[in-house]
A and B are shown apart, each in its own frame.
Chain A
């Protein structure tokens, strides 16, 4: 009886680890185009106060070439004293995801340097910025509303 119980316990633990491994390996994101995701994000609070960026803006702010990726959507502040910003970019491969993360880190660093010493509010927002990677999608937002924008992003890519 005890031997049976021991085997049962081992089987249950194996099942648990198998399930956790499966969850980690599985891709939970739907294959949506960035324009579909952008359409949802545009409904986010105060996104209409931002300016939609183009390939030149992507190059200027992130040193990225739009053609290297499977779509992007970028919003920045019109006012140079504001740091509100949001970007969603879809990588073509997993290797590109790491590079995108590095570009975003560099962008955050640059912005912090720009406002260091006189922009306490802007620096605080940059400290609290959100970077989220889901599959091949990379999301970055700086704003008081960053959290709500992230929620929209996560919902829009859910399978």
Chain B
């Protein structure tokens, strides 16, 4: 089940909201937990067992580690045990085939394996359970003693499948006590509609162009067409993922939860350093807190700092997918961040904003080439077309794409910055009814698109 579907918006969500608001506060978590299990089981009837195992196992280990505060050795052993089991499950489903393919390629062997389908959301909920158990070990939080509350933290349907990755410490108090008012429900609905519009109106439409251009042969693709394809994909992935995150945050608000912002207009960044403070914030924060800082962060010598950066970005790339192109994508950013840190971040900040913006956007768009194409052959293919080795610099197809998608590109560029949203906020402060009309209008148009286009999964579901 996906958020941008008629079934979810008009059947599942209203029923869950109704039940949630009808039951007394003591049962709200139970209703939400059962709804979340149903939501997950709808798409993954077998893998619900895996999620329930993850909940039971991490709940048990959290309590066990918390019960042995006086025995550091016992705590450490059990933390390591928990991390190994959690990462083993993630590795088994996500990286087993990749590992064997790599071994087969390097050693010219032919070890066969059965490729199992990847359980949806496993990367997200595994990172959540890891953050919980590590925080319990560090003494930042006390273990959750109510398995329903813990199960809700892991499986809450707004953020289960594609984030944001919620740290237990950020939600602990809200699990016990949260305020739900008509204002928070309204804010939640506005966030949800904004996310839905981003996904359905922007991501899906610009994504159709990106898909069309990516399926052209080299002999039919000029440089400028290839550039349009890359830019279209960068728009698609931003609006797709940030749209989903907005919907998740909006749904959370409707149930009284406040999740952290996951995107902060990343395409207005003036450096890669800034970009990664604005893009997939919850993932960057997770890696910083549980990998980068424990390794020493930047408080070590230069060699160790470089090592730490490469470990984090290798892992970030690998988290996104079991394929070498994702690893290259991650390391590409690692290298850029190191260059900025040691050579030219200060100089970049002194340059005119437009230059810094262009530098950042060029680097980010190049990175999406690695992200979109699963084989290095395909990556090379795209770069050849970008450098005119396809069908020259510009052709009639380029002009056709620009002419037919000009307004869409313009709208996407405007929505990449806070410009339109600030205007919307100014209007709604003066007259809330105009804001209401705009939101209802967006919702109706998005719903109309959903009726027409029933299959529109999220790109980040594959993680």
Bound CA span A28–B81, Å: 31
Q: Are B53 and A16 in contact (CB under 8 A)?
A: yes
Q: Are B219 and A121 in contact (CB under 8 A)?
A: yes
Interface string of B302-321 (1 = CB under 8 A from A): 00000000000000000000
The binding surface of chain A is classed by DSSP as helix
Q: In this complex, what residue of A is CB-closest to B216?
A: A144
Which of B6-14, B177-185, B372-380 sits within the interface?
B372-380
Q: Are A19 and B60 in contact (CB under 8 A)?
A: no
Q: In this complex, what residue of B is CB-closest to A82?
A: B217
Q: A145 within 8 Å of B by Cβ?
A: yes
Q: Are A5 and B378 in contact (CB under 8 A)?
A: no
With contact pairs A5-B64, A124-B377, A124-B381 given, residues A12 and B89 touching in the complex (Cβ less than 8 Å): no
Interface string of B92-115 (1 = CB under 8 A from A): 100000000000000000000010
Among A45, A124, A127, A145, which residue has the most Cβ atoms of chain B within 10 A? A124
Number of B residues, CB within 8 Å of A: 27
**How many Å from the CB of B400 to the closest CB on chain A?**
19
Q: A15 within 8 Å of B by Cβ?
A: yes
Q: In this complex, what residue of B is CB-closest to A26?
A: B46
Among B56, B114, B116, B378, which residue has the most Cβ atoms of chain A within 10 A? B114
Bound CA span A127–B373, Å: 13
**How many Å from the CB of A41 to the closest CB on chain B?**
16
Bound CA span A53–B308, Å: 55
**How many Å from the CB of B313 to the closest CB on chain A?**
25
Query: Could you say which of A5, A19, A24, A127 contacts B377, with CB atoms under 8 Å apart?
Result: A127
Bound CA span A135–B117, Å: 14
Q: Are B218 and A121 in contact (CB under 8 A)?
A: yes
Bound CA span A130–B461, Å: 21
Q: How many A-B residue pairs have CB under 8 A?
A: 45
Q: Are B53 and A12 in contact (CB under 8 A)?
A: yes
Name the A residues within 8 Å of B57 (CB-CB). Answer: 12, 16
With contact pairs A121-B218, A127-B375, A128-B377 given, residues A24 and B116 touching in the complex (Cβ less than 8 Å): yes
Name the B residues within 8 Å of A24 (CB-CB). Answer: 114, 116
Number of A residues, CB within 8 Å of B: 21
**How many Å from the CB of B124 to the closest CB on chain A?**
19
Q: B420 within 8 Å of A by Cβ?
A: no
Bound CA span A19–B67, Å: 29
Name the B residues within 8 Å of A45 (CB-CB). Answer: 215
Bound CA span A145–B216, Å: 9
Q: B15 within 8 Å of A by Cβ?
A: no
With contact pairs A124-B381, A127-B375 given, residues A12 and B60 touching in the complex (Cβ less than 8 Å): yes
Name the B residues within 8 Å of A145 (CB-CB). Answer: 215
Name the A residues within 8 Å of B50 (CB-CB). Answer: 19
Q: Are A124 and B53 in contact (CB under 8 A)?
A: no
Among B81, B89, B217, B374, which residue has the most Cβ atoms of chain A within 10 A? B217
B57-101 residues with Cβ-Cβ distance < 8 A to A are 57, 60, 64, 81, 85, 89, 92
Bound CA span A119–B242, Å: 41
Q: In this complex, what residue of B is CB-closest to A15?
A: B53
Q: Are B217 and A13 in contact (CB under 8 A)?
A: no
Q: B49 within 8 Å of A by Cβ?
A: yes
Interface string of A109-148 (1 = CB under 8 A from B): 0000000000001001001100000000000000011010
Q: A23 within 8 Å of B by Cβ?
A: yes
Name the A residues within 8 Å of B375 (CB-CB). Answer: 127-128
A14-67 residues with Cβ-Cβ distance < 8 A to B are 15-16, 19-20, 23-24, 28, 45-46
With contact pairs A121-B217, A124-B381, A128-B375 given, residues A13 and B85 touching in the complex (Cβ less than 8 Å): yes
Pull 30 A–B residue pairs with CB atoms less than 8 Å apart, ordered by A.
A5-B60, A5-B64, A8-B60, A9-B60, A9-B81, A12-B57, A15-B53, A16-B53, A16-B57, A19-B49, A19-B50, A19-B53, A20-B92, A23-B46, A23-B116, A45-B215, A121-B217, A121-B218, A121-B219, A121-B381, A124-B377, A124-B378, A124-B381, A127-B375, A127-B377, A128-B375, A128-B377, A128-B378, A144-B215, A144-B216
**A residues adjacent to B (C-beta < 8 A):** 5, 8-9, 12-13, 15-16, 19-20, 23-24, 28, 45-46, 121, 124, 127-128, 144-145, 147
